[in-house]
A and B are shown apart, each in its own frame.
Chain A
Amino acid sequence: MKRISGTSKALIAAVALSLAVISGASAEPLMMNGAGATFPYPLYSKWFYEYSNANPGVKFNYQSIGSGGGIKQITTGTVDFGATDAPMSEEEMGKLPGAILHIPTAIGAVVVVYNLDKVESGLKLTPDLLAGIFLGKITRWNDPKIAELNKTVTLPNADIVVAHRSDGSGTTDIFTNYLAAVNTEWRAKIGHGKSVNWPVGLGGKGNEGVAGVVKQTPGALGYVELAYAKQNKMKVAALRNKEGNFVSPTLEATSAAAAGVAKSMPDDFRVSLVDAPGKESWPISGLTWILVYKDQKNEARGKAMVQFLKWAVKDGQKMEAALDYAALPKAVADKVDKALRQITSKGKSLY
């Protein structure tokens, strides 16, 4: 008898448990799916974790498949949001089923790194010198034009080994955008894009690939993301910005670039920050965006998205510096917050 009652107890417990699971299912968290850029992935992971902890009703699933992939996924509507390091082109936007919003979430910087034994961080370069090096016109470290700017250091009589990304990337897009903005020859001959026809240099796959070439090759010079250079303690060059000041790449200098264009920030936020005005501005900076449709088909999902984005441009910004991202300046964050009011579902604002 006892044994039977034991069994039935277990049965009751099992039924109760399965009931609990079923009732739990009705309150299952909303899973928001996203895909896109790899650059902001560490930041977004942190955001999703913190936000879901505070709001257990929403969970996120983000695939960092690259900006191009993010744009493809949001165009076909397989994800709730996309993410990209390069604003969508008019052509890409023409393929969309509805109007889309570019929501800036962070600012990234691309920095010039090099490997010279006797030269510490802070080698000075001008935009034309940098373009000349990447065009293959300036090939020696002791070129008089470089020496003139860096009188305090001895530059070796050695080849400059140029390193660039071999994979298509937002980092390359920002970097080539910068070169095209500051140098007419680069603009005419090479142009800009996620991958370009490099006149010289070695290709490395990913930031780690470029960093690998630079670290392993004496006399090498390349470009990587600021966070990557910082975390790996690489030597970085100072660049002359639009106002004529030599600035070193820092998070503050990157934010300053966004502040420099804050006044002229277009309403759709599709703006390039390269060669931005402002005394302290680091010239090779760029926004990274989350892409969401203005008209949300599903009200609950749309609402969750808007609430998250509201949080991201306010509370989320405080987490940026710790992960080596530059936060949006307040003026820009306020403007983004206002833009979120445009997201609607069946004509109703979800803000």
Chain B
Amino acid sequence: MAARSGKITKDFVFEKASAFFASVVLFLAVLLFAVLLRESIPALRKFGASFLVTGTWDPVLERFGALPFLFGTLVSSFLALLIAVPLSVGAAIFINEFAPPWLKAPVSLLAELLAAIPSVIYGLWGIFVLVPILRDGLMKPLTKYLGWIPLFKGPVYGPSMLAAGVLLAIMIIPFILSVSREVLATIPQRQKEAVLSLGGTRWEMIRIVIGQHCIPGIFGATVLGLGRALGETMAVTMVIGNRPEIFASLFQQGYSMAAVIANEFAEAGGLQLSSLVLIGLLLMLLTLVVNFAAKGMLSKMVARASRGI
């Protein structure tokens, strides 16, 4: 009897302790939100909703708007997805389905190593290697021959929205790649064999089985990559050009939300500081919205996929 009640007490303590830890996490999230909100009140009062649609960022006259930063964050992140998703899904299919066994291990190890590189290293590599290559090998010829398309309009300097997008793509490939590989590995061998036994080619096998089975998982991997791209700070600020303006051309400079906070926070005061905190709050809301939207879409997809099978 005594031993039993001792066990119950232990369980009670364990339950309360774990509940406490869980509430700490919740409390931190609420606190974070509350502090961001409190510090951004002066900017909210002054600019209100116009903060979202104003394109000026003038610390001297104290006129602030978040539009160029929102634009820069979204465009560079989606550009990164546009490049990274086909590349990583293609690579994942190759590694899982076609690559000879001796190649699998080194390729996946290298991909994981890419994920371990600190972002400032990516940024430096971006400045010294990627930007000159893009500038001389891609942007200059494109401007020369296709400069009449607004997207490719010059002048070409190097640091640009395109450079930020490409660098971000390289940074998120390891994440999308490894999650996609996990997803592909969950396809039952029997299903694949079933398609092949019916006379399907490997391409048809991949199209049918993966299309049926893996779209939700790959979408989840994409959202993971997007989350990382939205918040990336150091690498982006080093190659994006840090110019708070909106250009149609990918070859022109931009600015991102995380980058302007990192750049100006240390020396800011008053309304500028408050505006930077407000940008932080917006970034937090943006990632929340993206995550919730993704979760909603994901559950729909999962439902559809399971119905399909």
Bound Cα distance A72, B266 (Å): 11
CB distance from A134 to the nearest CB of B (A): 14
CB distance from B42 to the nearest CB of A (A): 15
Bound Cα distance A209, B267 (Å): 17
| A216 CB within 8 Å of chain B | yes
Restricting to A191-228, which residues have a CB under 8 Å from any CB of B? 191-198, 201-205, 209, 212-213, 216-217
Is there an interface contact between A198 and B243, defined as CB atoms closer than 8 Å? yes
Additional pairs, 14, CB under 8 Å, beyond known A195-B263, A202-B157, A216-B127: A68-B268, A166-B259, A190-B60, A193-B59, A193-B60, A195-B267, A197-B58, A202-B241, A202-B242, A203-B241, A203-B242, A204-B242, A212-B127, A213-B158
Collect the chain A residues with CB atoms within 8 Å of residue B131's CB: 216
Is there an interface contact between B253 and A168, defined as CB atoms closer than 8 Å? no
Collect the chain B residues with CB atoms within 8 Å of residue A191's CB: 60-61
Most buried by B among A66, A67, A192, A195: A195
Is there an interface contact between B241 and A66, defined as CB atoms closer than 8 Å? no
Return the contact of A217 from the options B158, B264, B266 (Cβ within 8 A): B158
Asked whether A196 and B58 contact (CB < 8 A) given A202-B157, A202-B253, A203-B263, the answer is yes
Asked whether A69 and B266 contact (CB < 8 A) given A202-B157, A216-B132, A216-B158, the answer is yes
Give me 11 A-to-B residue pairs in the complex whose CB atoms sit less than 8 angstroms apart, sorted by A's number.
A69-B266, A69-B267, A167-B267, A196-B58, A197-B58, A202-B159, A202-B242, A205-B238, A209-B238, A216-B128, A216-B158
Chain A residue nearest to B132 (CB atoms) is: A216
State the main secondary structure of chain A at its contact with B. Answer: loop
CB distance from A181 to the nearest CB of B (A): 15
Interface 1/0 per residue, A148-188 and B, CB below 8 Å? 00000000000101000011110000000000000000000
| A65 CB within 8 Å of chain B | yes
| B269 CB within 8 Å of chain A | yes
Is there an interface contact between B157 and A161, defined as CB atoms closer than 8 Å? yes
Residues of B in contact with A (beta carbons under 8 Å apart): 56-61, 127-128, 131-132, 155, 157-159, 237-238, 241-244, 253, 255, 259, 262-264, 266-269, 272
CB distance from B81 to the nearest CB of A (A): 25
Collect the chain B residues with CB atoms within 8 Å of residue A209's CB: 238
CB distance from B12 to the nearest CB of A (A): 44
Residues of A in contact with B (beta carbons under 8 Å apart): 65-69, 72, 159, 161, 166-169, 190-198, 201-205, 209, 212-213, 216-217
Is there an interface contact between A196 and B59, defined as CB atoms closer than 8 Å? yes
Collect the chain B residues with CB atoms within 8 Å of residue A217's CB: 157-158
Collect the chain A residues with CB atoms within 8 Å of residue B241's CB: 202-203
Return the contact of A66 from the options B157, B238, B243, B266 (Cβ within 8 A): B266
Chain A residue nearest to B62 (CB atoms) is: A193
Collect the chain A residues with CB atoms within 8 Å of residue B132's CB: 216
Collect the chain A residues with CB atoms within 8 Å of residue B264's CB: 167-168, 195
Is there an interface contact between B243 and A167, defined as CB atoms closer than 8 Å? no
Bound Cα distance A93, B212 (Å): 68
CB distance from A186 to the nearest CB of B (A): 11
CB distance from A111 to the nearest CB of B (A): 21
CB distance from B13 to the nearest CB of A (A): 39
Bound Cα distance A166, B269 (Å): 16
Collect the chain A residues with CB atoms within 8 Å of residue B267's CB: 66-69, 167-169, 194-195
Bound Cα distance A69, B265 (Å): 10
